[in-house]
Structure 1
């Protein structure tokens, strides 16, 4: 036998079934980004008494991968057999009632109440319709941050999902099987006292020594004139009492930095500023001045790192609400939680009712303790060798010699915007070809660009994840900075071969254990030696950035001026932040004038624009799908074995 035949012989029956089933279920034509598979698994069984299909599905959840759970069950008195004793497959008839109804072109309609509600949530979050119950979340534009939004919106409708379930069950048909109607892990507690630093905070204090007090995030809202500032003051005070992380403070000792959560203060962090007598030009100037003054004077040792400034303007000039938080307290998902809760509190107070918010999830304090327990127990010890292999030895072109760190005052940014048609293609259609996620295609295009710009086939990237997905603990409705940051060494073999490059990047990114959470635990909590990598380039895909508009707060947007000290340090040469807004992909390439000239980085930006369009076109033009080993993780095959097996099955 050949080596391949030996490998096929060694495959278990379940591995072969797994491959055959998933290929059949996912093999679809290119049609507007929607899956057209009408394949389904039908289970035929015999039993002494009638059995409900839902009971059978429930019993199979722990025994089969979700995509192997039958969608239909047929109970028979006996199984039809051929004279040789084998099952007579032709005699098995399909059930009379189809459980999946197709509407439009290739879109499977929801059948249960949970599926109907999940479809509505997906369409709201992803921003288009129709979405079918068999459409893959990540292949139609979903990302990790949007998955948290879905978990939160589902909770508002009484559907409880764990943050990791959308990654494990990527279609509504599968997800609905695992949804619960109650959350048994709710822990309502108010925290005060010493708490543990989590890995991203350790990273922050390790890198930012010159001005750690001035590294903030801020949001500005236009507020309707009929809203009473006193209503906002009460709402902000309640918000700070409810979310423990907004009362965080940090103290420096001889051993390092410590964190604590203060008790709700008697005073308020809400400030009303009367601008009724000023013109619009004066108002803008005063707002910017007051914002910079407050942000540059935060005191880490005091629990006053979240502030609200309400600017009362004269009639004709809209009132403004500025929310400022030190980054140590919040991340992007935290802002979504805070804005939603603030709106809800204001509405309930205006009606004179009691305040009732969504149930709390795992607290910041519990999460920090949990990570320490995992570190002590050696939970991530088997990842140590993987992380040590992520070396950062490669260099990128520089124009000027300057030792790290570079400083914020030298940072400039070039913005690249991709048109809506190409963005739509990227999010909806391109991912079907190689069963990729959007981030994987963006990084593939970056690596192909580096091959021309930096004359290198390999680079070490610093990547970020939202850090809210590990184990059974739920952080989906918890305010805090939970981001995971880690290095990953990427390599392509041939800069002209898009297929091999995309598959190579996809496979490497999917080999990252536990979304990178173990790296921070091992480096900062367990203090494993050899994990001191400093990637020269950071890439961060922030997903689909939706406007923070609401009935109470009207239009909201992030503020960029004055949020960081000009003396803040950077230990990387390039930083690329990508996000989708109003249907267009935006990429911000930031660099330091200490090491790069504008034209050098501009060349990279132009190369990336051309390459990304080529990647999108390449993926969109192919008529058939290509698989790689990470599409079948249970089968444990390499690419050659998989290709041969697919050829045999086809």
Structure 2
């Protein structure tokens, strides 16, 4: 069963029992997906086991030695203490329509009642999709409610296209997305909305949006896997079997608030203050200002790395120096080059807000692999400081300098306490004065993983990844305060020729001119190439 699980995850490639799974693309998000696939087959598996037993042979021995799966804790609904990212969102307001939106391929023969039944499975299976936001003397608080509190029939709209042409479909996506996003309001319990498109060249398509307070990127992986598996069961005449949330989001939040007061977290005070203490000269015409900058000023410039370069860099990755380390080294090199050209000292380093999925089950003694909610952790890192600063021209002349930069980045990331989990506890829950007073990094960076693995396209309930995705708004809440000059999102996607690194540069047009971004993205391409050995 393990071999079948990995064959499904790796798009039909069946690993040998002694292959290093990391060499095939295993990362923390892929590990969660593998864990869920294995559990649906009745195997007791956790992401931590994958990281400690990186071959199928070793993993099988670990599963055999493991006890029964974690018991499901009794359901408890009510007030949810805000995690650091939620506190961050609450600080500046204007987040009513702050949503995630995806497009799904539906089965050709689907009808409304079948769509509703699949959505109802998700709504009843995940507490945060049934949450509502209330104001309390302590600030806004989400409240979870019992299954059945939200009916799928109330959140699904149908749009029938008059002509099955791409232009009409593209326009309908944009129009419908704005319409249903405007219906989202956590304070009324309107957390999820959906639109069913019929009559397009793509066949039947579902647009699904959820407020960010209720979901993160991993949540979508969980839900899409669930609904695809449920549809397979229904199509085979069987009742769908849904995995429970072993640790609820509410339980996780309570544990995190308890953790905030521990000596282990307090001991990290100086480490995190050191990251943000030194100056961070403006990358654009000024520093970002969330009291005046809003998300409607964001523009996006995608940078697509050629397949042959992507394949080359993937072949060089190791567990210690993976894709995240590689990309952060490239970002550090890019910003050092940009600062040098602008007459600023690159030795200040590159200050980045780094996103992680935040599901630190090994640290917390929990099991969130099937839990939907906003777990994301964000923490500041300062890379390429002092002599470690390397610009792209130097790296092109001296490959050893590029190698040294990558090593320094990997060393820095490996030394981060608890993978950054506790920074937010100090900053937002314990409200450490030095951290609250420090300026936020100007760059937010998120590596979203190997989307080319296990992301089967063209199948019922699979993601649409074509040009239609470009019709979705990048600013679902146009009035959301914008804290960053640059928001960088990178992933490895699938193409007809092979895996391809795609990096979306979202930039604040109040701080940069288009020519600035052209230069920054050119430096990015050169940094990728030199680190990949091109």
Report if TM-score (shorter chain) is over 0.5: yes
Closer/same/farther in 2, CA of residues 256 and 168 from structure 1, 3 Å limit: same
Match of 2:451 in 1: 545
Counterpart residue number, 2:398? none
Instruction: State the SS of the aligned residue for 1:498.
Output: helix
Match of 1:594 among 510, 519, 522: 510
Contact 1:460 1:535 in 2 (8 A): yes
Q: Write the mapping of 1:43-192 to structure 2, written as runs, cut at 5 A.
A: 117-127=1-11, 129=13, 131-180=15-64, 183-187=68-72, 189-192=74-77
1:290 equivalenced with 2:172 (yes/no)? no
Q: Give the one of 261, 286, 295 matched to 1:408.
A: 295
Unmatched 5+ residue regions in structure 2? 341-345, 395-400
Corresponding residue SS for 1:531: helix
Does the 8 Å contact 1:217/1:563 carry over to 2? Answer: no
Q: Deviations over 1:187-240 (max 9, x none)?
A: 154443222222221122224x1x211111111223233112111112212321
CA drift of 1:266 comes to: 6.2
TM-score by length of 1: 0.71
Residue 490 (str. 1) matches residue 383 (str. 2): yes
Matched residues in 1 for 2:274 and 2:159: separation? 57
Tell me how far 1:617 sits from its aligned partner: 0.9
Three-state SS of the structure 2 residue aligned to 1:540 is strand
Shift of residue 402 of structure 1? 6.4
2-side partners of 1:162 and 1:555: how far apart? 25
- How far residue 284 of structure 1 moved from its aligned partner, in angstroms, is 4.7
Distance 2:372 2:459 in 1: 22
Equivalent residue, structure 1, for 2:409: 505
Aligned to 1:611: 527
CA pair 134-501 structure 1, distance change in 2 beyond 3 A: farther
Matching residue of 2:477: 565
Matched-pair contact (CA < 8 Å) for 1:139–1:436: no
In structure 2, relative to structure 1, the CA distance for the partners of 1:477 and 1:131 (3 Å cut) is same
Report which structure shows greater RCO (CA 8 Å, sep ≥6). Answer: 2
Distance 2:230 2:46 in 1: 25
Classify 1:153/1:344 alpha carbon distance in 2 versus 1 (closer, same or farther; 3 Å).
closer
Residue in 2 aligned with 1:375?
260
Establish whether residue 556 from structure 1 lines up as the match of residue 464 from structure 2.
yes
Extract structure 1 runs of 4+ deviating beyond 6 A. Answer: none
Residues 1:339 and 1:130: Cα distance change in structure 2 (over 3 Å): closer
| C-alpha spacing 1:355/1:510, structure 2 compared with 1 (3 Å) | same
Larger Rg: 1
Deviations 1:482-531 (A, max 9, x none): 11111011125252412321111110011011111111222222333322
SS in 2 for 1:460: strand
Q: What SS class does the counterpart of residue 447 from structure 2 fall into?
A: strand
Structure that is richer in helix per residue: 2
Cα distance change, pair 420–389 in 1 and its aligned pair in 2 (3 A): same
Distance 1:128 1:273 in 2: 35
Deviates more, 1:389-398 or 1:295-304: 389-398
Per-residue deviation, residues 619-644 of structure 1 (Å, max 9, x unmatched): xxxxxxxxxxxxxxxxxxxxxxxxxx
Measured in 1, the distance between the counterparts of 2:233 and 2:5 equals 24
Q: CA 1:584–1:274 in structure 2 vs 1: closer, same or farther (change >3 Å)?
A: closer
5+ long unaligned stretches in structure 1:
1-116, 619-650
Q: Which residue of 2 aligns with 1:46?
A: none
Matches of residues 529-544 of structure 1 in structure 2 within 5 Å? 529-532=433-436, 533=438, 534-544=440-450
Change beyond 3 A, Cα 1:288–1:353: same
Contact 2:71–2:246 at 8 Å: present in 1 too?
yes
Asked whether the equivalents of residues 235 and 342 of structure 1 are also in contact (C-alpha less than 8 Å), the reply is yes
The SS at the match of 2:134 is: strand
Of 299, 302, 306, the match for 1:419: 306
Matches within 5 A, 1:333-352: 333-350=218-235
Secondary structure of 2:183's partner? Answer: coil
Question: Structure 1 183/528 Cα, relative in aligned 2: closer, same or farther at 3 Å?
Answer: farther
For residues 105-504 of structure 1, the aligned pairs below 5 Å read 117-127=1-11, 129=13, 131-180=15-64, 183-187=68-72, 189-207=74-92, 209=93, 211-263=94-146, 264-265=148-149, 267=151, 268-273=153-158, 275=160, 280=165, 284-313=170-199, 318-350=203-235, 353-391=238-276, 393-396=278-281, 398-401=283-286, 404-405=289-290, 406-428=293-315, 430-432=316-318, 435-455=320-340, 456-457=346-347, 458-470=349-361, 471=363, 472-492=365-385, 493-494=387-388, 495=390, 496=394, 497-504=401-408
Q: Counterparts of 2:130 and 2:456 in 1: how far apart (Å)?
A: 23
> How much has 1:174 moved relative to structure 2?
3.8
